[in-house]
Amino acid sequence: MITTTTPMEGAMLKLPCLRSVSRNTNFTNRSSNSFPWSYRRLHISASASASASAPLVEGPKLGPGSLGHITRSDFPILHQEINGLKLVYLDNAATSQKPRAVIEALQNYYEAYNSNVHRGIHYLSAKATDEYESARQKVANFIHAAEAKEIIFTRNATEAINLVAYSWGLSNLKPGDEIITTIAEHHSAIVPWQIVAQKTGAVLRFVNLTEDEVPDVGQLRDSLSSSTKLLVMHHVSNMLASVLPMDEVISWAHDVGAKVLVDACQSVPHMVVDVKNLDTDFLVGSSHKMCGPTGVGFLYGKSEILSGMPPFLGGGEMIADVYLDHSTYAEPPSRFEAGTPAIGEAIGLGAAIDYISEIGMQQIHDYEMELGNYLYDRLSSVSDVRIYGPAPSRTVKRAALCSFNVKDIHPTDIATFLDQQHGVAIRSGHHCAQPLHRHLGINASARASLHFYNTKDDVDKFIDALKDTINFFTSFK
Ligand SMILES: Cc1ncc(COP(=O)(O)O)c(C=O)c1O
């Protein structure tokens, strides 16, 4: 357990040029609406619940007619060539692509009923308000919240976490109170709490990784005490691909009277998330990672907690009455939505939810598990590749992404070569997880991340391209 209240310093990753072949990478090797009708009739059974003797990857599910093959046609951006090369998009953990239904919902809003919400009495304003509030209801239904008023639209998930930090954190934390989190959080779930800890005198404590490179929930359980006031934790890691047992963790935190904030940015787009079953106090998600537009995210908060929280930002429709010397505030969610919100984007998020719900989150999850295992298997068979996070097995599930390094080749060189020579888009850098990278003894990694519209062919092209990339760079030695 690491305890700190001060921001961590660290070297920023400098973007290398393509030909900076040999770099000190310092890592070790390890052996180890236009919905297609045909899909409605397709039933993909759960790979995760397959019998213990069944192989991890069951080929036919990934073959022609797979979810990826069928849904690809709904995503116009995927059907283009970049530098004369067919695009293979494997940067979905950073942002997802948008289906035509979402693009059309945005266009329709701006062409047919663009107007401000909650304030006009004319037709356009009423229609925009209805659609905006209907999008809120869709988010609530999607994550199984009890009421739409428990959903607050924010600019992104980062703003949603900051809202909790500044509103709930500043008014509830005092010197000596503990905020527990993990070293594997996204910066967006670390930095706001560093700021709040500095302002309130609360102590920020970090849970480490197990030997299997999963945040250590045993250590977390041991460190909970009556001093713990908040647990901030990701559901699925954007770097390790680990999936945490949030229901258990949340009940442990509640046993000591702590509140819980779940960063669900990497789980909500890929699996069924049920806030009522989880019994979480707060949960944040991001539209742009779940096939929706950028510029909007959401905070879920239990009604009784939200209604006791002060505003985060002032102005606009968040008021009840304004006097010269003071103001009174609207009830949630309006209290937390100061100024004109991202109306078209929220409506676009609603369209994204309609689209992925029609496929079915369980279907999406099962397919991605299968494709993710296939990615892991193929990548781990490439020489000199070191994949981070737990190895998948019958009991250990990984999200459909792999962060990795290749011996003596900088990840940004790999990503650049893959892009320029093969049209394969992956991410390189610290993925907004510098403390985690530092813990692993590296300053950067490459990351290939999948979504349901990816196919086995995408993975095969990536692996072939990676082998070619490794050959290119090793030929200089
Ligand atoms: C785990 C996790 N948390 C938080 C964020 C921040 O989300 P947003 O881009 O909506 O601010 C991300 C985005 O990469 C993420 O992966």
Considering only 29-33, 148-152, 236-240, 371-375, which range has the smallest mean pLDDT?
29-33
335 lines ligand 1 (CB under 6 A): no
Nearest 5 degrees, angle CA 434-CA 239-CA 4? 35
pLDDT at 374 over 70: yes
Q: Where does the pLDDT of residue 165 fall: very low under 50, low under 70, confident under 90, or very high at 90 and above?
A: very high
Residues 412 and 290 in one domain: no
Q: Look at residue 60 in the predicted model and tell me its pLDDT.
A: 62
Domain boundary among 322, 357, 392: 357
Q: Which of 265, 291, 402, 432 is catalytic?
A: 432
Q: Look at residue 8 in the predicted model and tell me its pLDDT.
A: 30
pLDDT at 137 over 50: yes
Query: Mean pLDDT over residues 49-57, rounded?
Result: 48
How many Cα atoms within 13 Å fall on the side-chain side of residue 305? 23
pLDDT at 17 over 90: no
Burial 376-385 (b: 16+ CB within 10 A, else e): bebbbeeeeb
Query: From ligand 1's centre to the CA of 289, what distance in Å?
Result: 8
Select from 442, 469, 476 the least CA-distant residue to 27. Answer: 442
427 lines ligand 1 (CB under 6 A): no
**Cα separation of 289 and 122, whole Å?**
34
Query: From ligand 1's centre to the CA of 182, what distance in Å?
Result: 15
From atom 15 of ligand 1, which residue's Cα is the shortest distance away? 265
Domain assignment present for 464:
yes
Q: Which amino acid is at 238?
A: N
Length of the chain: 477
Domain boundary among 316, 335, 357: 357
**Cα separation of 120 and 122, whole Å?**
6
Considering only 12-16, 74-78, 343-347, 388-392, which range has the smallest mean pLDDT?
12-16
Residues 345 and 370 in one domain: no
pLDDT at 384 over 80: yes
Select from 110, 129, 124, 123 the least CA-distant residue to 344. Answer: 110
Atom of ligand 1 nearest to the CA of 285: 10
Sheet with 427-429: strands ordered across: 385-387, 401-406, 445-449, 427-429
**Cα separation of 441 and 28, whole Å?**
9
266 lines ligand 1 (CB under 6 A): yes
What does the DSSP assignment read for 383-425?
TTEEE-SPPP-SS--B-SEEEEEETTB-HHHHHHHHHHHH-EE
- Total domain count, the chain: 2
Residues 162 and 278 in one domain: yes
Query: From ligand 1's centre to the CA of 253, what distance in Å?
Result: 23
pLDDT at 54 over 80: no
Which CATH number characterizes residue 468's domain? 3.90.1150.10
From atom 16 of ligand 1, which residue's Cα is the shortest distance away? 238
Q: Where does the pLDDT of residue 197 fall: very low under 50, low under 70, confident under 90, or very high at 90 and above?
A: very high
Nearest 5 degrees, angle CA 140-CA 145-CA 146? 115
Residues 191 and 132 in one domain: yes
Atom of ligand 1 nearest to the CA of 286: 10
Among 266, 273, 401, 430, say which to mutate for ligand 1: greatest number of ligand atoms within 8 Å of CB: 266
- Is 432 part of the annotated catalytic residue set? yes
Q: Look at residue 262 in the predicted model and tell me its pLDDT.
A: 98
Domain assignment present for 203:
yes
Q: Look at residue 21 in the predicted model and tell me its pLDDT.
A: 30
Task: Measure the N-to-C terminal CA separation of the chain; round to a whole number of Å.
Answer: 41
Please enumerate in sequence order all residues whose Cβ is within 8 A of that of 21, keeping only pairs 6 or more positions apart, or say none: 409, 413, 473, 476, 477
Q: Look at residue 83 in the predicted model and tell me its pLDDT.
A: 85
Which CATH number characterizes residue 172's domain? 3.40.640.10
Query: Mean pLDDT over residues 30-56, rounded?
Result: 37
Select from 297, 412, 403, 402 the least CA-distant residue to 348. Answer: 297
297 lines ligand 1 (CB under 6 A): yes
pLDDT digits (tens, 9 = 90+) for 408-442: 999 999 999 999 999 999 999 999 999 999 999 99
pLDDT at 381 over 70: yes
φ/ψ of residue 412, rounded to 5: -70, -30
Query: Mean pLDDT over residues 65-78, rounded?
Result: 97
From atom 8 of ligand 1, which residue's Cα is the shortest distance away? 157
From atom 13 of ligand 1, which residue's Cα is the shortest distance away? 94
Mean pLDDT score across all residues of the chain = 89
Residues 125 and 41 in one domain: no
Residue 49, SS3 per DSSP? coil
Query: From ligand 1's centre to the CA of 146, what distance in Å?
Result: 24
158 lines ligand 1 (CB under 6 A): yes
Residues 352 and 388 in one domain: no
Query: Mean pLDDT over residues 189-214, rounded?
Result: 98
275 lines ligand 1 (CB under 6 A): no
188 lines ligand 1 (CB under 6 A): yes
pLDDT digits (tens, 9 = 90+) for 297-355: 999 999 999 999 999 999 998 999 999 999 999 999 999 999 999 999 999 999 999 99
Distance of CA 188 to the CA centre of its chain: 11
Dihedral sign, Cα of residue 191, residue 242, residue 257, residue 144: positive
pLDDT at 45 over 80: no
Residues 119 and 250 in one domain: yes
- Exposed / middle / buried, residue 320 (Cβ in 10 Å: 0-12, 13-18, 19+): exposed
Q: Return the bridge partners of 259, or none.
A: 230
Residues 348 and 385 in one domain: no
**Cα separation of 233 and 235, whole Å?**
7
From atom 12 of ligand 1, which residue's Cα is the shortest distance away? 265
Domain boundary among 306, 332, 357: 357
Residues 309 and 394 in one domain: no
Q: Where does the pLDDT of residue 42 fall: very low under 50, low under 70, confident under 90, or very high at 90 and above?
A: very low
263 lines ligand 1 (CB under 6 A): yes
Domain assignment present for 97:
no
Range of the structural domain that residue 20 is part of: 2-92+360-474
Residues 332 and 383 in one domain: no
- Exposed / middle / buried, residue 253 (Cβ in 10 Å: 0-12, 13-18, 19+): buried
Q: Look at residue 58 in the predicted model and tell me its pLDDT.
A: 58
Residues 270 and 299 in one domain: yes
Query: pTM, whole model, 2 decimals?
Result: 0.89
287 lines ligand 1 (CB under 6 A): no
Token pair, residue 13, equals 């990753």
**Cα separation of 242 and 213, whole Å?**
8
Among 289, 345, 427, say which to mutate for ligand 1: greatest number of ligand atoms within 8 Å of CB: 289
Cα–Cα distances (Å) from 149 to 24, 115, 473, in that order, read 51, 22, 54
DSSP designation for 68: H
Query: From ligand 1's centre to the CA of 355, what distance in Å?
Result: 21
Q: Look at residue 229 in the predicted model and tell me its pLDDT.
A: 98
Q: Look at residue 242 in the predicted model and tell me its pLDDT.
A: 97
Among 156, 291, 401, 432, say which to mutate for ligand 1: greatest number of ligand atoms within 8 Å of CB: 432
- Exposed / middle / buried, residue 215 (Cβ in 10 Å: 0-12, 13-18, 19+): buried
Residues 342 and 398 in one domain: no
Query: Mean pLDDT over residues 41-51, rounded?
Result: 34
Q: Look at residue 57 in the predicted model and tell me its pLDDT.
A: 61
pLDDT at 18 over 80: no
pLDDT at 51 over 60: no
Query: From ligand 1's centre to the CA of 295, what distance in Å?
Result: 12
pLDDT at 241 over 60: yes
Q: Look at residue 10 in the predicted model and tell me its pLDDT.
A: 30
pLDDT at 222 over 50: yes
State the residue for tokens 């020489």: 383
pLDDT at 32 over 90: no
pLDDT digits (tens, 9 = 90+) for 448-469: 999 999 999 999 999 999 999 9
238 lines ligand 1 (CB under 6 A): yes
267 lines ligand 1 (CB under 6 A): no
Domain assignment present for 77:
yes
